[in-house]
């Protein structure tokens, strides 16, 4: 099922792809994915997530492009996305499932759930509720591999957070950012600079200084990213999220594309002879879907597909790299076809859906960003979004609109014969795209994917959890220590364990422990970050070794 990049869209279905695969019609792919000798070659994993992307969005993007997507070549199955408590998941538990192999609850990042009501999900013992569980990045790092996370949203957003941190709520950007800084990740590229600065943090810390002290080349423009030769890269390209791909040339030319960040990440991490793990997210398909904005959805699906192509080019040359691309959940219920086509769908040509969309030169966010306060340029703004030939009555209605974004998106959807069922997430299965030796296939649970990645890299997630996340209070008290949580600085809680004249201090969200014995203090580095879930501290085994 080789990619036919110059051919027109064929609309190959998942069922057809699986049928061809099962019959052995894999073309050149079969020889390309033969694994090298794992004893001689490092194993690499590139995990790619297009956030909030339903099958309807990828289908629309393919028709818009007019040819096959890079992902089409490696369509190999489907993924069930539900959370521990709902048929429709939030991004945080979805990321937790994809990164750790555990279903979790709404808004929870990298922790086990408290509530389990979905059929087939095993209940969690009370003592294990909200316990942090290791993700594939942490397991790979502990095994000596280089690691990276890339995102077009804030790097602290739910999905990249799920692959790099642990928090009771996805909105805890301060804690998530600090954990990412102290995780020792080699390549971090995306938005979210604000959460690294004193002005954007409740604790007033300057994490940019910490990043600099750890030897990163901190880059803030596409040009600086491209010319950097550092083994450790931190790209902070926007205060919050990066621009939509379609808007980037008109609004933020200094920002790199997702494909450029992906290639740079691969080039940097692949220098490690032990291999690497790289996480890549195309974040803002989800944001556009929430806004029912087909232009933003299409543009960022295609940008993500370009990044997948970069990953595949490397994987095919390397021969021992697993690439997985998947959506974490659906969003918006987008359909080609709406009430306009109830009777006409058998004879409605592709152009009736695509041509109205081709008129847009900016996303909904980009176009409305050009609107003057008095809305006097409404006609021009609507045209940027593809809405030309508006009547005087339509323009006046838009000027008076109390929900301008919603009304603009509805007008474009009507012209393009598109339907939306919601402004929220949806619960359907999503496509699984995978390439390389040991790649997953068929209909799988989202929790199956990290287990597959871990097995290919030769690491064990459960053993990594046991090594990195031990209940500090219980463990220190078994050794005769008295423990307390010091919240003198409420934004920086510290676990304190004391015995005789020895004091052990373990701050939350960092990877350090300070031991004071006989008035002498020494700070040591731990294997992973310390996590405080609001009730208990969890520390790495290395911290407990200080309790002699």
Active site residue 22: no
Q: Taking the CB of residue 84, how many other CB atoms lie within 10 A of it?
A: 25
Residues 6+ apart with CB under 8 A from 127: none
Q: Which residues pair with 280 in a beta bridge?
A: 48, 150
Residues 6+ apart with CB under 8 A from 320: 35, 36, 38, 41, 42, 43, 44, 436, 437
Q: Taking the CB of residue 514, how many other CB atoms lie within 10 A of it?
A: 16
Measured at the alpha carbon of residue 447, what is the angle toward residues 317 and 42, in degrees to the nearest 5?
A: 30
Three-state DSSP class for residue 279: strand
User: φ and ψ at 441, to 5 degrees?
Assistant: -155, 170
> Cα-atom radius of gyration of the chain, to the nearest Å?
24
Instruction: Provide the pairing of β-strand 335-336 with 217-219.
Output: unpaired
Residue 444 CA to its chain's centroid (Å): 19
Residue 79 host element (H or E): strand 75-80
| Class of residue 394 by CB neighbours under 10 A (exposed 0-12, middle 13-18, buried 19+) | middle
Find, among 356, 371, 376, the residue nearest to 404 by Cα: 371
The one catalytic residue among 59, 83, 91, 146: 91
Residues 6+ apart with CB under 8 A from 326: 48, 49, 50, 79, 98, 430, 431, 432, 433, 446, 449
The answer to whether 351 touches 416, Cβ cutoff 8 Å, is no
Q: Would you please indicate which residues are annotated as catalytic (active-site) residues? A: 91
């Amino acid at each position: 099922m080789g990619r036919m990049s110059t051919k027109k869209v064929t609309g190959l279905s998942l069922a057809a792809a699986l049928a061809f695969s099962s019959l052995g019609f894999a073309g050149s792919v079969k020889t390309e994915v033969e694994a090298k000798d794992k004893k001689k070659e490092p194993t690499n994993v590139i995990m790619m997530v297009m956030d909030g992307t339903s099958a309807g969005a990828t289908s629309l993007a393919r028709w818009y492009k007019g040819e096959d997507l890079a992902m089409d070549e490696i369509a190999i199955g489907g993924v069930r996305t539900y959370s521990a408590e709902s048929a429709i998941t939030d991004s945080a538990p979805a990321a937790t499932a994809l990164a750790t192999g555990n279903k979790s609850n709404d808004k929870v990042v990298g922790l086990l759930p408290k509530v389990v009501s979905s059929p087939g999900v095993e209940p969690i013992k009370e003592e294990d509720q909200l316990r942090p569980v290791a993700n594939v990045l942490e397991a790979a790092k502990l095994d000596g591999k280089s690691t990276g996370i890339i995102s077009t949203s804030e790097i602290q957003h739910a999905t990249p957070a799920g692959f790099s941190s642990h928090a009771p709520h996805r909105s805890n950007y301060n804690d998530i950012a600090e954990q990412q800084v102290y995780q020792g990740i080699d390549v971090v590229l995306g938005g979210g600079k604000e959460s690294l600065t004193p002005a954007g943090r409740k604790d007033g810390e300057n994490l940019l200084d910490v990043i600099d002290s750890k030897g990163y080349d901190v880059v803030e423009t596409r040009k600086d990213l491209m010319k950097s030769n550092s083994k450790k890269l931190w790209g902070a390209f926007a205060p919050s999220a990066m621009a939509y791909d379609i808007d980037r040339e008109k609004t933020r030319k200094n920002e790199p594309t997702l494909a450029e960040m992906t290639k740079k990440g691969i080039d940097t991490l692949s220098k490690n002879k032990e291999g690497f793990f790289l996480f890549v997210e195309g974040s803002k398909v989800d944001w556009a879907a929430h806004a029912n904005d087909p232009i933003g959805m299409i543009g960022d699906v295609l940008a993500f597909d370009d990044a997948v192509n970069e990953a595949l080019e490397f994987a095919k040359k390397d021969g021992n790299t697993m690439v997985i691309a998947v959506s974490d959940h659906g969003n918006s219920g987008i359909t080609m076809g709406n009430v306009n086509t109830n009777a006409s769908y058998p004879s409605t040509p592709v152009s009736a859906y695509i041509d109205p969309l081709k008129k847009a030169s900016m996303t909904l966010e980009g176009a409305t960003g050009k609107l003057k306060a008095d809305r006097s340029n409404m006609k021009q703004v609507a045209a940027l979004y593809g809405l030309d030939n508006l009547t005087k009555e339509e323009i006046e209605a838009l000027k008076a609109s109390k929900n301008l974004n919603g009304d603009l998106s509805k007008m474009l959807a009507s012209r393009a014969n598109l339907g939306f069922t919601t402004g929220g997430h949806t619960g359907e299965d999503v496509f699984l795209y995978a390439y390389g030796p040991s790649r997953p296939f068929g209909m799988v649970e989202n929790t199956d994917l990290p287990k597959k990645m871990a097995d290919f890299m030769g690491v064990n997630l459960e053993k990594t959890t046991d090594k990195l996340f031990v209940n500090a209070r219980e463990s220190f008290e078994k050794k005769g220590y008295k423990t307390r949580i010091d919240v003198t600085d409420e934004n920086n809680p510290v676990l304190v364990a004391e015995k005789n004249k020895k004091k052990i201090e373990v701050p939350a969200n960092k990877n350090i422990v300070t031991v004071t014995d006989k008035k002498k203090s020494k700070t040591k580095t731990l294997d992973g970050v310390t996590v405080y879930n609001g009730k208990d501290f969890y520390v790495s085994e290395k911290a407990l070794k200080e309790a002699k």
